[in-house]
Structure 1
Amino acid sequence: MSRSARLRLFHGATGNTPERMVMLSMWPIPRRHMADDHTYPESRHVNERTVTMDTHPSPDEGAEMTALAHEQDVTATLDDYTARPTAYIAGLRTPQGVRVEYIEGKYHMNPPANDEHNRWATRLVVQLFLAGLEDVTIGNGFCTEPGEEKHITGAFIPDFVVQYNPAGESDEAYRRNHDGWYPASMVRLACEITSPSNAMVDRGPKYRTYARAGIPVYLLVDREKGVVVVYSEPIDRGKDSVYQVAHQVTLGQKLDLPDGLPTLDTSALT
């Protein structure tokens, strides 16, 4: 059996809360399962970079998963992997600090960000809080089931968000029913600060995913390009969703946020 991109699926029943443990092997993943716009040195280990897995494994890979499950004397299916990504993510055993998201039909594994990234996020959060926005949060995960879709089309953990309000009873109920993920409708602004390993995801797939989810404002701090861009007025066009308005400044300048949000001083990031 090939060591490429093998998934170990363990299914067990525990009353009304079935435990589905899914372990992603840490062997190298084939390049065709990585995002097309990423370039990685072959020698780097999987937990040092952003890895993207396609949600439609080939028949051979499906056979490998089933065979491996039989080796473990359990029954495995691909239901969570393809149809319920929040359950699949909830069952993953990942290294400490690694975040897993589901964006445009692919699972993205993101290693911990570096010190500069986290300091910049903190400085922006403090600015927003001091400007009177109390519902600025870090670490919450959100998912979306837009329009007539009967399945989750995105599960994401922005670097930080501005919420309309703290999570209410209905939001917590949604979270319980979606494996720990809140509804995207809670989000007023989502922010991403790029890293070399995932900048293309933040500029493309996440941009479209946030627009499709109807998040009113997307703030992109592009460290690699030295700019900050704020997008607003999203239009849901499915996989081709866009924001109608974009405003960009060079790092170090002030940026007026839309939707009644305050002005950011990006000189704090230089």
Structure 2
Amino acid sequence: MTVMAERASSQLSVDVFERIAEFAAREDETVGFEFIGGRIGVKKVTNGSHGEIAMWLVFHCKQARPDLTLNPTGQGLKVEAYRRGRAKPDAVLAPTGHFNGKGDWADPDGVLMAVEITSYDSDTHNRDRVEKPKAYAEAGIPVYLLIDRDALSILVHSDPDPEVGYRDIHVVKLGGKVTLPDPVGIELDTEELRDYVD
């Protein structure tokens, strides 16, 4: 579940946000914070099916591309124009060792794919289908993979443009085969994912 609070970006600096997020993480490990579009998002721990989907994807990405690691631990990324935003994707694909020593909020350079898995909360549409694709495209992340449990679909966003977002969005129903384009270059058979939608 995510709750978003409106804030003008001039009222809350990224430095202040990062201190708030760091303090909150020490006090309560069941939530994480994001700062996108001048809004603070509180992202609660997900359910078991959400985690199973993430781990399924980790396994298949590593099997297809051993040179890459799909990190499902909530690695924070600096996103949006001039890195004013902070996002915690459900998983991030990058070369093995890419995030070593990068801290809580890493620069997106070198990230090949950001992954989100929809949650069953009131903000999932705005967060996962509107704000995050825009932020990830602005940051130049080549592929954004959205596993949409509500629509029983996989959406592959590619060809990022900082002005308009992702130019190409390919939709496949759960159970079908999907190709994650270069630089990811992985094909997935999503039949098994149908078991993890609840």
> Would you say same fold, with TM above 0.5?
yes
State whether structure 2 residue 138 is matched by structure 1 residue 138: no
Match of 1:205 in 2: 131
Percent of aligned pairs sharing the same letter: 30
Bigger-Rg structure (1/2): 1
How many pairs does the alignment contain? 187
- Which structure 2 residues correspond to residues 102-113 of structure 1 after superposition, within 5 A? 102-113=35-46
Greater relative contact order: 1 or 2 (C-alpha under 8 angstroms, separation 6 or more)? 2
Match of 1:164 in 2: 95
- Which structure 2 residues correspond to residues 8-157 of structure 1 after superposition, within 5 A? 49-56=1-8, 81-84=12-15, 85-92=17-24, 95-133=28-66, 134-139=68-73, 140-144=75-79, 146=81, 149=82, 152-157=83-88
Partners of 2:32 and 2:22 in 1: CA distance: 11
Unaligned 5+ residue runs, structure 2?
Answer: none
Unaligned 5+ residue runs, structure 1?
Answer: 1-48, 58-77
Instruction: Write out per-residue CA displacement over residues 123-173 of structure 1, whole angstroms, 9 at most, x where no aligned residue.
Output: 111011111243221221111364xx3xx32211111111134237xx73x
Could you tell me which amino acid in structure 2 is paired with residue 136 of structure 1?
Answer: L
Distance 1:132 1:167, change over 3 A: closer
Match of 2:157 in 1: 231
**Do the aligned partners of 1:199 and 1:222 also contact (CA within 8 Å) in 2?**
no
**Do the aligned partners of 1:163 and 1:186 also contact (CA within 8 Å) in 2?**
yes
SS in 1 for 2:154: strand
List structure 1 segments (4+ residues) > 4 angstroms apart after TM superposition: none
Q: Post-superposition shift, 1:88?
A: 3.1
Match of 2:172 in 1: 249
Cα root mean square deviation, aligned: 2.2
TM-score w.r.t. the length of structure 1 is 0.64
Partners of 1:144 and 1:249 in 2: CA distance: 27
Partners of 1:136 and 1:56 in 2: CA distance: 33
Distance 1:216 1:230, change over 3 A: same
